[in-house]
Amino acid sequence: MRVKVKLLSVFAAHAREDAEGLTAIPEGATVRTLAESLSLPMELVRIITVNGRQVYLDEPLAEGDCIYLFPPALGGG
């Protein structure tokens, strides 16, 4: 299946999109397996939204989901 993955700031270099801007993932994938497959630094993957809803790493993904992976907000000043 394919999903839309938005990787912000320091995560952006890990993007792996096809020509249509989508990312192919296996059936049964979760946010964790997606993040691992993109080689993201897992200790920094803390704030995740799927279709605008906050979720955690073990959230299962479905065809067409829109996933945002935000680097954590450090040093809020």
Task: Identify any residues that bridge with 66 across adjacent strands, giving them in sequence order.
Answer: 4
The helix, strand and coil proportions of the chain, stated in percent and rounded to the nearest 5, come to: 20, 30, 50
Q: Does 8 bind other proteins (CB under 8 A)?
A: yes
Q: Does 58 bind other proteins (CB under 8 A)?
A: no
Q: C-alpha distances in angstroms, 23 versus 1, 29, 48, 49, 73?
A: 8, 12, 16, 16, 25
Q: Does 51 bind other proteins (CB under 8 A)?
A: no
Residue 6, both tokens: 């938005």
Closer residue to other proteins (CB): 1 or 47: 47
Closer residue to other proteins (CB): 39 or 54: 54
Q: Does 30 bind other proteins (CB under 8 A)?
A: no
**Site residues for other proteins per CB under 8 A:** 6, 8-10, 41, 43-44, 46-47, 49, 52, 54, 56, 68, 70-77
